[in-house]
Structures are given as C-alpha cells and as structure tokens.
Amino acid sequence: MKNFYKIIFLFLILSSNTLASITYKQSSSSLNSVTTALRGINFNPDGTKMYVTEGQGTEEVLQYSLSTAYDVNTATLVSTTTLTNINLPHAIEFKSDGTMMYVIDNTGTRVEQFTLSTAWDTSTLSHDEDFSVSGENQLRGLAFKPDGTRMYVIGAQQEIVYQYTLSTPWDVTTATKTTESDDFTSDESDPRNVQFNSDGTIMYIGGSKGDEINKYTLSTAYDVSTASLSDTYSVSSQSGRMRGFILADNGSKLYVTDDIDSPSENIIFEYNVSCAETITCSDPKDDKVVVGLIEAQVELSKRIIKHNTLPIIHRMEWLRRHENKDNLTNQNIKFDFSNEILASLANAVKVSNNQNTISKKQPDDWFYWSEGLISIGETGATISSSAKKIDTSGIVFGADRKIDENKIYGYALQLGKDSIDVGSSGALLDTDAYSLTLYGTLPGKDTIISEGLLGISMLDTDHIRNNNSNTLEGQRNGKQIFGSVNLGKRLNKKKFNFNPTARIDLGYTELESYKETSSFSNKESDALIFDRHEMVTGLANIGMILDNTVKLKNSTIKHNGRLEYIVDFSPSSGAKFSYVSDQSTDYNLTIGNEATHNYRVGYGFDLSTATGWSVILNYERHNANGSGHSDNLYFAAGYVPNTRTKYALNLNGSDTIMAGFNMVKNIRGFDIKFNFENDILNVNKNQNANISLSKVF
C-alpha cells in the first residue's frame, strides 16, 4: 500500500508543470568506440573539456575536447589514462583549480586522490593518496564543498550520504566523519552519484532504480543530516540504466551516463535545466521578495498619484488662505532644459524673467509658485511579502491665472524620485516620474469650494533583485492618468477658518512588460519576465482643514492643520510573470489593498514678509491602518521681485536636474549677486553656493 501511494504521488508530480523545467536536448554515442563500461562524468569550468571514467576490465579516465562548450556531440578524444590499483572507477571530481583529481573505487571502497602536473590534463596524473570509507562496500558517488573543507560519499550498500570534514582542504587523508544522512533506500536503492547546488542548500541523488534524480532541501547548508526530499525528476524516457550524472554549467545543464554493458549502448544524455541548480523551478509567488516587489509597484503607482495631487491641493488651499491678496506669486521661476521632452513640458508653464514691479496684478495675469517634497515611510512584512522602506523626493513648479475675480486655472510641472527597498537582500525599485497637471479652483470670496485637476505622468523604473549571489536587473516604463475633484465649504469663525472637504482621487496606471537580466550570463534561468500590469486607483477623502492668521510687525503667519479619513477603494490588480527559461509556464498574483482605511494628519504655516519673501512648510503623516505609514514634508520658499530684482528661481538640466536660486539686487549702486544650485534628483550631495558684491564706476 505504501508503494502504491508513492506511485500515485510521483504520477501527480510527473503530470504537473512543476517538473517541466528539465528538457531533454540530445544524446551522444560517440564514446562507443573507446569505452565499454561508461560510469562517471565531469567537465572543466568553461565546458571545453569533458572527463569520463570506465571500468570493467579497463579502468581508465578518458579526456575529451569540446569544440562547443558543454556540447557532448562536439567531443573529440584527447587522451586515455589508465588508473592503477582501482577496480570499477565511478564518480570523478576535481579540485577547483584542476590540479587534483578524485575517483571513487567501487570495489575497494576508497576515494583515490591524484595530482595533475598540468591543470585539467588527466594525462599528467600521478597517484597521490587514498581514503577508505568504513561501513560501505559499494561506493558510487562523490562530492566536495567548493572550498575543499568537506567531502561527501554515497554507496549502494547503505544508501547513506557520509559527510567528512577535511582538516587540510582537498587532502582526503585528513578526512574525519562528522555526520551522515538518513537512509535513502526508499527513495533510491541503487545510487550513482551525489551533487550539491552552489550554496549547499540543495542536494541531489540519482540512481538506476528508477532512473531518476531526487532533489533534497537542506535546512542547514552542506549538512546532510538536515536533508528532506522535495522533488523527483525521471530520466527513464531516455536512460534505461543510469551509471552517473553531473550538474554542470552552473547548474543549467544535466548530464546522465548510461551503459547496458554493451559497446553500442554507452550514451551520454544532455538536458537543459530551466531554473539553474534547482532541477525544478520554484513558484516565484513563494518568494517574499518577488511578491514584495510587485506589491511595491502597486503601492508606488498610488504614491506617485498622491504626491502629484497633494501639491496642487496645497496650492489651492494657499489660494483660499490668501484670497484677498492681489499678487498670488510664491516664486519667480526660470526654466532652462536641454532635454527636448522636459523643455516642451516646461514651456507649458513658462515664466518671464522680467518682473518690473510688485504693483497690483490684473485679473488676466499669471502667478507662479513651487513646492518641494521629502517623504519617508515603511510597511511591515507579511506572511507572503517582505517589509518595505520608502523614500520620496520631488519638486513641483506651477503657474496659474485669474479668469475673473473668483476663478483660477493653472498648470504644474512635477519631477519626482521614489526609492523602495524591499526586504534585506538588496531588492530595490528606483523610479523617476515626470508629470504635467491642469487644475482649476474658485479661490475668491464665495464660501463654496469647488476644485479639480487632471494630470498625466511618465514613469521610468529600475528594478534590482538578488537571488543568492545572482543580481537580476530590469528597466520598466509606465504611464499614468489621474484626476481629482474636491468639494467643500469655507466657514469663517472670528480668527479661524474651517474648511470641511470631500474629495475623490482617481487614477489609471499602465506598467509595460520587462525582462530581468542576470549579472551572470550563464544564470539567466533565475530571471523573470513580467507582463504588462494595469492598475486602477480610487481614493475617497473626507476631512477638515483649520487655519488662522497672525499678523506681526513686518510679516504675516498663517497656520493651518488638517485631519482626513481616506478610504482606498482601488480594485485588485493581477500581475502575470514567468521564468525567462520557461515562458510556457505562467504565474499569476493578485494584489489587493494593503490597507482600506487610512488617515492623514498635518500641520503647516505660511510666512510672508513685507520685503517680498515667503516661506511655506507643511508636515503630514499618512497612516495606513494595519499596514504602515509615511512622513511627508512639503516646503517652498519664494520671493516676489521688485524693480531691481532680475529673477528668483531657475531650473535647468540635461543628464542631471539642477535647481537653482539666483538673485541680482541693486542697493545704492551696488550689485549683490547670490547663487545656489542643487541636483534635486541625485541621492549624493551635489550643491554649491556663492555670493558677490560689485559696482560699476
């Protein structure tokens, strides 16, 4: 009955896609003329040399040259070297630099050690030492830890992997048994070799009982006592009598040797392994970093819409607080871009540098403003995804115009940078966003608040993910359209103004497909391909804004505070992806709202001086119930120029985006020049400032 369930289990596995990551490529029978009993197999690191052992009256190691790396059908025999004092050699292994060779002696139960005077040339070998394995009389498999400090052997008598520590690396005579595995008889009663992946977390045992490769997960790397069976792959469709196997080319290829004790039946079978070193591709949805990155992309789309919307909202609120002010300019701005795309966007809000007076503005005049943003936040880890740390910086430049006494419309150009660290393995999303927004408001004396905006964004995101030592990178573009409608009422109560508001924010984001590339060309099998991802964002906001005015001798301060409740009613979105090496198998992940209920509280102030300077500062905390929070700082500093001030702020850039504050002011015949520049989208400090005084006589 036990065997019956096992058969049913294996049938289910073999009938599913979980094992579709190994595909048979080809076979080679070119060894028939030179060997009668094919056993072990191995390659040099670059796959240009192949080594096989044979033993049934002729105990030899055969060295081949491969004109195409790892292609067994391009093999040419180079040398045949007799192995003395060995009966039935099986598994063959090499020191990492190719100066030593190790062969299993099947009947002598020994590990034979050889020195190669010329690295990777078996014709130069000489017998060095040997090590006897106690408790086993039919040795078959051999493996070493990459640094040579551990040795592993398996035989057909006990079906146990014996683990040894080598006090001198690569010297088998210094081996001491430290532990052993459980009995693998029920999995494989005729083992032919043992292998490990590069980090020792996976072990493979293959044999001729069922002509299959058994995959074991090691909870402690390179500790065989912690092994547990996780998967099985059958090669019985090709091989009828497995004699040995090897995972080569960084685990991306599998080779199985076969012999039916006949010269015409010595064959090497070659397989492509879709997910290197794993035999079977793991479900990427089980990877918390992968899930965390997908969730971060969804969260990022919402954050960009939010950070594009809120500065406009702040501007509208500022207009209401300053409804009786004739000159509504916060900044005088100069745009200078060599980048054609940015230049075209800047022209939409282009501002003249020649401000000649601070006299009363006319209804059809343009007013100019700007706002900066710094935001930090985090979300905690969940059962399925890793924790995330979020950093955002940005700047927005706007211009608006009075249509009549009560109506204003405007444009805003926004530049932002968002970085999200996912987990602790170095996974990262780094996004540059460029946005253009049209908005309108009723800032006049009417107590009814009616405002709206419509904008578009272009997104450019760099993705980084680490899989063990393999760094996987991708670049993804995207686009957004978003809008907001805000309704409310402005209530005046002595020194305080109350503004109950209700707002709906809507957005649509489309992220293009992208493909990860590996830092190692031979480990592309770890990489994923992500299909196009579409997301709809919907937020309902209900809140209260409170402000009051404090007049000082030469300045005015307007304080403001807010409390908002936000319902995220965004529908779920689906992410579809696959392995680069197995694009026929799709994985789908549904991303819902991490937090439906959200709160935002904030405080800020406007400081205006009689000399034309203004400072605006707003702090807001966004709390996602049960998910995480972000702390946001919005700031602006401006100057309304007089007749002797040329301009106050400029923005220019090509490969970099430089924001600069520049002022030239004449006082009693002297020119005072002040300049400050800062690369606003560079994480590294890149800034300078200077001041000068001059007079022309």
Confidence of residue 240 (pLDDT cuts 50, 70, 90): confident
- In this prediction, residues 85-96 reach a mean pLDDT of 90
Provide the 8-state DSSP code for 345. H
Q: How many degrees, rounded to 5, is the angle at CA 536 between CA 533 and CA 541?
A: 150
Point out the least confidently predicted range of 167-171, 361-365, 387-391, 634-638. 361-365
Between 223 and 317, the higher pLDDT residue: 223
Nearest Cα to Cα of residue 527 among 274, 279, 271: 274
CB 658 within 8 A of CB 635: no
Residue whose pair of structure tokens reads 């249509």 in the numeric block: 403
pTM: 0.57
H/E stretch holding 450: strand 448-467
Q: What is the pLDDT of residues 105-149, one digit of tens each?
A: 887 789 999 999 999 999 999 999 999 988 787 888 999 999 999
Position 195 scores a pLDDT of 93
Give dist(CA 562, CA 627) in Å, integer: 22
Pairing status of strand 110-116 against strand 555-568: unpaired
Give dist(CA 356, CA 39) in Å, integer: 92
Position 466 scores a pLDDT of 83
CB 301 within 8 A of CB 535: yes
Between 42 and 377, the higher pLDDT residue: 42
Joined together, the tokens standing for residue 516 give 């990860």
Percent helix, strand and coil across the chain, each to the nearest 5: 10, 55, 35
Confidence of residue 691 (pLDDT cuts 50, 70, 90): low
Give dist(CA 390, CA 306) in Å, integer: 14
Joined together, the tokens standing for residue 270 give 């070659």
Confidence of residue 678 (pLDDT cuts 50, 70, 90): low
Phi, psi for 524 (deg, rounded to 5): -65, -20
CB 580 within 8 A of CB 573: no
Phi, psi for 174 (deg, rounded to 5): -100, 15
Q: What is the mean pLDDT of the chain?
A: 79
CB 203 within 8 A of CB 191: no
Between 355 and 219, the higher pLDDT residue: 219
Confidence of residue 20 (pLDDT cuts 50, 70, 90): very low
Point out the least confidently predicted range of 22-26, 86-90, 477-481, 597-601. 22-26
What is the share, in percent, of the chain residues with pLDDT greater than 90?
Answer: 32
